[in-house]
């Protein structure tokens, strides 16, 4: 694994979000280069997980991005390899537990202000100054990026 500056990766994730990428893309793109993923491919792979998967407000996109990154850290090369699958799932559960401990949930609708949680129409919200001021998502993106980075650094993933 390439060495990396954790604070720079966290900043990169937040900058991604504030530039218009969704929550999942923001976290995934912050680390995609460590796995030799082309940015365009990484954007395509992660876009559908934003807004709690297609704006359905289910699992937070930042948490989904952590799970996707866990798949690159601990892939399952053989379908019947229970050890590989167990390690992957354990990593996903550990990441989600860290996030949940800090924020009380991994579910998008529980993390958003009530007026935003109820909005599940597929059209995304306009990214305005007001959007960024009232949404806690940038914090969730930063925290997910921190969890991934800390686990990569300690070898937990």
Residue 151 · residue 94 · CB < 8 Å = yes
For the record, the structure tokens of 25 come out as 């893309």
Q: Taking the domains of the chain in order of start, what are their residue ranges?
A: 6-154
For the record, the structure tokens of 67 come out as 């799970």
In this predicted structure, what is the pLDDT of residue 126? 92
At 84-99, the pLDDT tens digits run 999 999 999 999 999 9
At 38-70, the pLDDT tens digits run 999 999 999 999 999 999 999 999 999 999 999
In this predicted structure, what is the pLDDT of residue 2? 58
Residue 49 · residue 68 · CB < 8 Å = yes
At 9-35, the pLDDT tens digits run 999 999 999 999 999 999 999 999 999
For the record, the structure tokens of 36 come out as 């030799």
């Amino acid at each position: 694994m390439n060495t990396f500056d954790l604070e720079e990766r966290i900043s990169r994730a937040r900058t991604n979000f504030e530039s218009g990428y969704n929550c999942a893309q923001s976290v995934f793109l912050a680390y995609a280069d460590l796995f030799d993923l082309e940015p365009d491919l990484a954007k395509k792979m992660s876009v559908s997980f934003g807004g709690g998967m297609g704006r359905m407000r289910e699992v937070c996109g930042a948490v989904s991005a952590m799970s996707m990154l866990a798949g690159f850290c601990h892939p399952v090369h053989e379908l019947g390899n229970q050890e590989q699958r167990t390690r992957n799932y354990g990593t996903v559960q550990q990441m989600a537990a860290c996030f949940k401990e800090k924020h009380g949930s991994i579910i998008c609708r529980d993390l958003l202000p009530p007026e935003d949680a109820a909005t599940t129409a597929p059209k995304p919200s306009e990214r305005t100054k007001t959007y960024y001021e009232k949404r806690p998502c940038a914090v969730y993106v930063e925290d997910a990026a921190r969890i991934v980075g800390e686990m990569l650094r300690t070898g937990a993933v």
